[in-house]
Amino acid sequence: MSVATVGTVVLDCPDPRALAGFYAAIVGGTVEGEGRWVDLKVPGGPALAFQEAPGHVPPRWPRTDRSQQFHLDLAVEDLDAAEKEVLALGAKPLDTGDRSRGFLVYADPAGHPFCLCAC
């Protein structure tokens, strides 16, 4: 028996609305709110929330002195097509050389690592 269920995953960032829009363009959903806290209501999954963090220092994956802190695994059917989309939205490649392993690693516009994973 679990003690809790996943309600919301919260990401610190410099611009909550912009980062919510980035993820909404990838996973769908509805962006709600303005200001220091913005929610992304995701169909069929936990909500993502974006909290303004003045002085936010993005992680530097895979460095140990500024670890990734957390990351999102996003399931996709076509890695190549998904890669084109996330790059067009402003993602930065971090580890995309070995496509045979079934996942590619990127940073979102605020520097948080995320993976596109072949499903």
pLDDT of residue 62: 79
Structural contact between residues 43 and 34, judged by C-beta atoms closer than 8 angstroms: no
Residue 11 has pLDDT above 70, yes or no: yes
Structural contact between residues 73 and 45, judged by C-beta atoms closer than 8 angstroms: no
Residue 19 has pLDDT above 80, yes or no: yes
pLDDT band with cut points at 50, 70 and 90 for residue 61: confident
Q: Name the helix (H) or strand (E) containing 88.
A: helix 79-89
Determine the Cα–Cα distance for residues 119 and 106; give it in Å rounded to an integer: 17
Type of residue at 112 = H
pLDDT of residue 89: 96
Type of residue at 10 = V
> What is the tens place of the pLDDT at every residue in 22-53?
999 999 999 999 999 999 999 888 899 999 99
pTM: 0.82
Structural contact between residues 13 and 53, judged by C-beta atoms closer than 8 angstroms: yes
Tell me which residue of 113, 107, 71 sits closest to 90, measured CA to CA: 107
51, two tokens: 């909290």
Determine the Cα–Cα distance for residues 107 and 91; give it in Å rounded to an integer: 6
pLDDT of residue 60: 83
> What is the tens place of the pLDDT at every residue in 108-118?
999 998 999 98
Residue 1 has pLDDT above 70, yes or no: no
> What is the tens place of the pLDDT at every residue in 63-104?
778 776 777 889 899 999 999 999 999 999 999 988 898 999
